[in-house]
Each structure stands twice: as structure tokens, then as C-alpha cells.
């Protein structure tokens, strides 16, 4: 089993990048890889409760993020700086995510066999 980290840093309202990252994460989980997902910068907004992208013509994938638990994806991380910038708390997120400092993020990246940035 390989350690794979998917990193997202783009806004959930900027095209399909977050959806692609979610799909990639679920695919790796389905083939029994040790998968983690790190959301940085404006990507943390994808985890904010009670939002929809339908009004801007994007498919509403926010509910699909909750399926991570079904696929046993328990290693979801958010950037501490981004959480502070967007004034978010862990309680405001639709799933459980661990907040990491920049140093902790670097350590996480170094532990991976593969890093996929989307």
C-alpha cells in the first residue's frame, strides 16, 4: 500500500478542480491506497457547511465530500493559515479535518510516496 496525498489550493467555485481532487481521492481509496487530502488556500472553502455551487452553473459536489467517510478516507487536512484567513473553525466544516501548520504540512508531504496537486 502506497501513501498518496492529494493537495488542493484552488477555490471550490473556480471550475472543477476541487471536484477532480475529490474524484482522485475517492479513486485512490477504492484501490486500497493510504490516501490523504490536504486543502490549502481558498480550497478550504469546499469544506464549509451549507453552501452550493448550483447558482454559478457548477454541479453541486459539496454533498459528495461527505462520501469520503464511506470510502474510509479519514485523513483530511486543512491549512491553519487558510482557516484563519477565511475565519473558519473545524466546527464549521462538513467533515472532520485536522488543521495543520505549514511545518506540519511539509512533514506530511515528506511522508508520502506520491503527491498529486490538483
Set of cell numbers at residue 101: 501548520
User: 29 with 3: CB under 8 angstroms?
Assistant: no
- Alpha carbons 28 and 73: distance in angstroms, whole number: 10
Neighbours of 103 (CB within 10 A): 9
Q: What angle do CA 84, 88, 91 make, to 5 degrees?
A: 135
**In the CATH hierarchy, which top-level class contains the domain 3-117?**
alpha beta
**CA-wise closest residue to 82 among 14, 9, 4:** 9
Does the global pTM surpass 0.75?
Answer: yes
pLDDT in tens, 59-75: 667 778 888 888 888 89
Q: What is the pLDDT of residues 32-43, one digit of tens each?
A: 889 999 999 999
The three grid cell numbers given for residue 88, joined into one nine-digit string: 473558519
Among residues of the chain, what percentage have pLDDT more than 90? 65
Amino acid at each position: 500500500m502506497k501513501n498518496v496525498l492529494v493537495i488542493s489550493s484552488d477555490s471550490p467555485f473556480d471550475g472543477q478542480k476541487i471536484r477532480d481532487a475529490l474524484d482522485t481521492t475517492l479513486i485512490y481509496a477504492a484501490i486500497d491506497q493510504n490516501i490523504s487530502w490536504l486543502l490549502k488556500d481558498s480550497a478550504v472553502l469546499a469544506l464549509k457547511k451549507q453552501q452550493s455551487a448550483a447558482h454559478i452553473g457548477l454541479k453541486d459536489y459539496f454533498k459528495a465530500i461527505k462520501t469520503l467517510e464511506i470510502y474510509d478516507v479519514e485523513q483530511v487536512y486543512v491549512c491553519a493559515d487558510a482557516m484563519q484567513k477565511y475565519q473558519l473553525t473545524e466546527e464549521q466544516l462538513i467533515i472532520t479535518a485536522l488543521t495543520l501548520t505549514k511545518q506540519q504540512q511539509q512533514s506530511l508531504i515528506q511522508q508520502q510516496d506520491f503527491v498529486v496537486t490538483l
